[in-house]
Structure 1
Amino acid sequence: MKNKESKTKNTPPLKSSELTDWNQTKTWLLLSMSTVVLTLIYYMVNSPRPYDDDNIGRYFMSQAAFVKPGYFLDIWGRPMAILLFSIPAQFGYWYVASGVALLTVMTCFFTYKAAQESGRPYAWMVVLFVFFQPLVLTTSFSLCAEPLAAFFVAIALYFYYRNKLWQAALLFSMVPLARSETVLILPLIAIPWLRERRWVPVLLLGTGLAVYQIAGMISTGDPLYLLTQSKAFGHGLYQNGPFEHYFQRFIFITGPVIFVFLLFQLVSDIRLRKLSLLNTSVVLMFAVHVYFYWKGNVASVGFLRHFVAVGPMIALLALDGFNRWIGFEDKQKTNSVVWDAFILAALSVLILAYYSFELVGQYFLSDKAEHLKFGTALVLFLLFILRAVLKLDGIFFKKMMITGTVILTVAYCFVKEKPLTFAPEHQTVKNCYDYYKENIRGKTPKVMIAHTWWFFFDNFNNYTKTMEEGGYESMRKEKLADLPVGSFVIWDSHYSHRLSSNVQLREDLAGDKNFQLKQQFLSSDQKFVIYIFEKVKQPS
């Protein structure tokens, strides 16, 4: 039986009069892929730092994996990431980042191939809809695990739409080894196969987790290794957050153009009672992340980048919305013009009322009013009205719609997503490290330190080496008394008092006469501080 989603039913064959060069794939695929590659090069050349703190930890862990093979199974490091990063990590951070950039390019290409195999018009447009999701762009050369998950999702969808179910199942089974929460998508894939009695692909969906379980069982002797790791991972590690966290920020994950087309298609699917692998998976992942962060019962800190894992699915749904918007929907079947106009108008109002603010960094919201997103949605609405209501439905106007979509999609990312320069906290750590190299290194028996970026600037892999090998000591209050006189404690307001560290500034250092404040560094935004204390005497 042919895969039911191998050809999308909501995009009927083009009329001969509509077969223009703008829907021919070779030229526009080449242009869109070239845009992706050139943008990647520009952002990498102008980004002197890793994406975030987790990238540094994963880099050092990957570098250490051949010395400590247990890291290949580490659930925080993500087994797939450690496996793929371990060899290039031996040569340096940017070798790994370049490899991820290559995988991102391949993700765009295979999402295009999935769109092409499923019969979607303007398949080349999906390349831009994948890459120019703001969070995809900013993580496209990072050591985050999400771009790896997105790559396996994209290539799996390609085989899925080709009706190569065995290959698709094997590739889908790898996705949870990059992002564990995506395991919840596997039942959505399996259900239609079970109905069609396709037993082998269903069994193959468990391949990735089975390999992980067997490897863990051999390594530790735990017959329930997978269950043990799942229960232990991150529970109680972070505080919970507000229920509306991802609702308020989702437009910043996708960008306004993709946001409009995605919701346009999802609302239309709901109205038509249409279920597909794409819409159910995206909605499920959104609900899962909302719940996880709201309840705080797993290692969820509310990062927006988690949705990069399903970026290809978001892009394909946005392409469906785009084709509906531009006029490829079967009007006799849906009688949709009025409904579509209403949906687009409602989305414009929603963006004006709910999203007229800025995102600060990758996490926080500002009170500053910003209406670029609303303006983008309004342009899309007006273009639809001109096409569908005023019947400006000729080839020239459709070219205007396509051109406008491309410009709005790409321009928003260039305006809002700048290359990764040092944040105030990172620059402060760098300034402190430079001070340490000039004034302290080689003149003190030990240095107590906790900040992840310190080890990155020092190129000291604390996953391979012991802290003592670098003249360092872990930031633990129980070790303060044992520090030799002349040692330094470099306390920072981010890491030194939390997670694996527990040194409190006032009671353990400032309030202890055995330590003397020598220097302090305050970030330019005054949100982060480093204090350097010297141990001047032993406790009596």
Structure 2
Amino acid sequence: MAFNSIIYSSHEIIKASFLLHFCAETDKLRFSLSNRDHLMAKKNKKNKRSRIISDKRTAARPANDTLPELSQHQLLGLTLIVVCIYYGYSFLSNGFYQHDEAGHFVNMRTFWHDPKIILGIWAKPGYKLLFVIPSLLGPHFILFYNALIAGLTCFFTYKLCEKAGCKTPLFAFILLAFQPFWFQLAFRNYSETVSALILVLFLYMHYVDRKWIAALLLSYIVLTRQELYVFLGLYGLYLLLNKKFIPMLLLAVFPLLNHLWGWAVTGDPLFLYNQIFGTLETIQSAYPSMGFFHYFRMSLVIFGALALIYYLVYLGQLIFYKQRVEWFVFLAFTLFFLEYCVFQNKLIQIGPSGAGNLRYMNVVSPFIAILGAMALERLPDMKSRSKLLILLIPFSILALIYMRFKHNNLAYIPQDDYTPLLLVLIVVFSVFLLNKKRQILYFLIAASAVFTVLTLKPMQRSAEDRVMYEAVEWAKQNKSDSHPILASHTLFYYFWGKTRHDFPEGAAVIDQDAVNQAEIGTQIFWDSHYSYRPNLRSGQVPHTYFLERENEFRMLRQPFLSADRRFGLFVFEKIAVTDSMRLNE
């Protein structure tokens, strides 16, 4: 009986323990479930808040506001179309922007007779080395070759814009391809276009972390534009601070090779120094400075309303909205632009003025296009854009006061033209009216086409060009190349299709030594533009020198004169050698 009682008691204790354990586990499970429900509710609340924020952001950006990315083939096809447009335009605009484009072609061909001819600041060896072989195919092929380089610059501007983080690189392509001065000079013989391409490739290689290639490209580009030595120094400092010592050393490669080549052919151990600073002094005395604000005033002519206004929008975004700055692209454009403004300063002469030549800005045209594209990409996400007016309103007023003028592609003409102001206002309004990227794309395409038609005027041959063509045709008919020739005008050789080395009896530019040493029978084609420039060259001979010596020179025909009588060309023949000439020799 006692044993049964013990067994019963033990059974009850075990049962009670089991019940207590079950209740404890149940409470623990209930607490766990409650805690899980609490965490899930908290998470759902957070997700709901995230969805609300996301919905707000989506509301700020219109639905389907994306642009399809161009495939490689599509981008190449678009590039080819632009190249064909540039080349086709060359037949409508068959005059010269400046005679340098003819001079550069003759210089390229002369290389094959005298390689050292491409050394020097004007000749720009880095530029000429890329052209001496294509030049053998003639001037029309060079037009296409230049157009191809301009098109490839648009292509790599797209690629650079993409690498810089912009999702709408097509905007940059369009903003570059149809900039007024870029379009106008795309097919012409100037170093600015190829310099722009190399500079874009330099930054592209920097962004893809190929610093050694970037360094070599920047090292090469100073052989095409000497003012880019500033960029060389700044990038060298950047590489030094980032301990990229090998790329930093590579920056010296091409300037050193250029110097060694020049030293070898001239015997001057300071060749590069003397080329830069000697030429600088000559240019400063020969060409006037246009004033610090010259390029500001002409910026609409150079870059056009689209690129310029959207660059100002980019400035407004970084100043007033604290947007991220793409420093390398921003500094490439801004420093180069300001550098040339300093060169034009009249108070203190610093650097080469170049008479405020507008084409120099084409070197950085790709970068203002990229900055404009970045500004446009951000526009649809900007709810409020009113702060941009802080820049856009003053600029519009300045455009009304200082930019309503006609121009001749070199400088402004003091005659009112309100077309630039109208285009500025259209683009300013677009900043506040366009809310979708597709709208922006369609506007860019339409505005580029309309603005190009309104502002672009094909360049026709000037009165001087026509006189030179007529003179060369006369010389061909009269077989002047059977005589030794003295001629200084670039177009004389360009229209004849010969370098000085190609004339069977020889040819040379006109100066006192050449006149004294000329053989009897030498024909002298003296022009009023290039044959007498005492500020640039010593030993210049005025036309009166020949007219006053009738016993030594005879005039072969009446002078060739332009219709406005501002340009003339005299043709003389040397008929005797006098004692005074022998004394001068």
| TM-score, normalized by the shorter chain, greater than 0.5 | yes
Cα separation, 1, equivalents of 2:353 and 2:431? 42
- 2:171 corresponds in structure 1 to 125
Residue by residue over 1:183-239, the C-alpha shift from the partner in whole angstroms, topping out at 9 and shown as x without a partner, is 211333344444433333333333332332344445555554432322223422323
The secondary structure found in structure 1 opposite 2:570 is: strand
Does structure 1 residue 379 correspond to structure 2 residue 448? no
Matches within 5 A, 1:386-425: 386-387=433-434, 393=435, 395=436, 398-425=437-464
The secondary structure found in structure 2 opposite 1:448 is: strand
- 1:303 corresponds in structure 2 to 357
Cα separation, 1, equivalents of 2:564 and 2:308? 31
Does structure 1 residue 283 correspond to structure 2 residue 334? yes
The secondary structure found in structure 1 opposite 2:330 is: helix
Residue by residue over 1:83-115, the C-alpha shift from the partner in whole angstroms, topping out at 9 and shown as x without a partner, is 111212223223333222222221111110111
Matches within 5 A, 1:475-490: 475-477=510-512, 480=515, 488-490=523-525
- 1:461 corresponds in structure 2 to 499
Does structure 1 residue 24 correspond to structure 2 residue 52? no
Cα separation, 2, equivalents of 1:328 and 1:15? 6
- 2:180 corresponds in structure 1 to 134
Cα separation, 2, equivalents of 1:489 and 1:64? 21
Residue by residue over 1:52-97, the C-alpha shift from the partner in whole angstroms, topping out at 9 and shown as x without a partner, is 3222332222223243232354332111122111212223223333
- 1:348 corresponds in structure 2 to 396
Q: How has the CA–CA distance of structure 1 residues 65 and 363 changed in structure 2, closer, same or farther, with 3 Å as cutoff?
A: same
- Match of 1:112, as an amino acid? Y
Cα separation, 1, equivalents of 2:271 and 2:520? 45
Cα separation, 2, equivalents of 1:13 and 1:190? 44
- 2:385 corresponds in structure 1 to 337
Does structure 1 residue 503 correspond to structure 2 residue 541? yes
Cα separation, 1, equivalents of 2:399 and 2:525? 45
Partner residue of 1:250 out of 287, 291, 299: 299
Residue by residue over 1:435-470, the C-alpha shift from the partner in whole angstroms, topping out at 9 and shown as x without a partner, is 333346378x554322110111112202x45x7x44
Deviates more, 1:473-482 or 1:12-21: 12-21
- 1:319 corresponds in structure 2 to 373
| Count of residues in Structure 1 that have an aligned counterpart in Structure 2 | 509
Cα separation, 2, equivalents of 1:523 and 1:38? 34
Cα separation, 1, equivalents of 2:312 and 2:563? 39
The secondary structure found in structure 1 opposite 2:531 is: coil
Give the Å deviation of 1:145.
Answer: 1.1
Does structure 1 residue 146 correspond to structure 2 residue 197? no
Cα separation, 1, equivalents of 2:353 and 2:140? 27
Contact 1:29-1:124 within 8 A present in 2 as well: no
The secondary structure found in structure 1 opposite 2:123 is: coil
Q: Equivalent pairs: percent with the same residue?
A: 24
- 1:106 corresponds in structure 2 to 152
Contact 2:96-2:460 within 8 A present in 1 as well: no
Tell me the TM-score normalized by structure 2: 0.77
Deviates more, 1:451-460 or 1:90-99: 90-99
Does structure 1 residue 171 correspond to structure 2 residue 217? yes
- Match of 2:214, as an amino acid? A
- 2:202 corresponds in structure 1 to 156
- 2:233 corresponds in structure 1 to 187
Q: How has the CA–CA distance of structure 1 residues 525 and 250 changed in structure 2, closer, same or farther, with 3 Å as cutoff?
A: farther
Q: How has the CA–CA distance of structure 1 residues 417 and 129 changed in structure 2, closer, same or farther, with 3 Å as cutoff?
A: same
Larger Rg: 2
Partner residue of 1:426 out of 452, 462, 465: 465
Contact 1:519-1:533 within 8 A present in 2 as well: no
Q: How has the CA–CA distance of structure 1 residues 119 and 479 changed in structure 2, closer, same or farther, with 3 Å as cutoff?
A: closer
The secondary structure found in structure 1 opposite 2:222 is: helix
- Match of 1:36, as an amino acid? V
- 2:86 corresponds in structure 1 to 40
Cα separation, 2, equivalents of 1:535 and 1:167? 56
| Greater fraction of residues in helix | 2
Contact 1:357-1:368 within 8 A present in 2 as well: yes
Cα separation, 2, equivalents of 1:196 and 1:473? 52
Cα separation, 2, equivalents of 1:442 and 1:169? 48
Matches within 5 A, 1:258-273: 258-266=307-315, 268-269=317-318
Cα separation, 2, equivalents of 1:245 and 1:433? 37
Point out where structure 2 has 5 or more consecutive residues left out of the alignment. Answer: 1-56, 580-585
RMSD in angstroms over aligned alpha carbons? Answer: 3.3
Cα separation, 1, equivalents of 2:122 and 2:508? 23
Point out where structure 1 has 5 or more consecutive residues left out of the alignment. Answer: 1-11, 388-392
Matches within 5 A, 1:87-106: 87-106=133-152
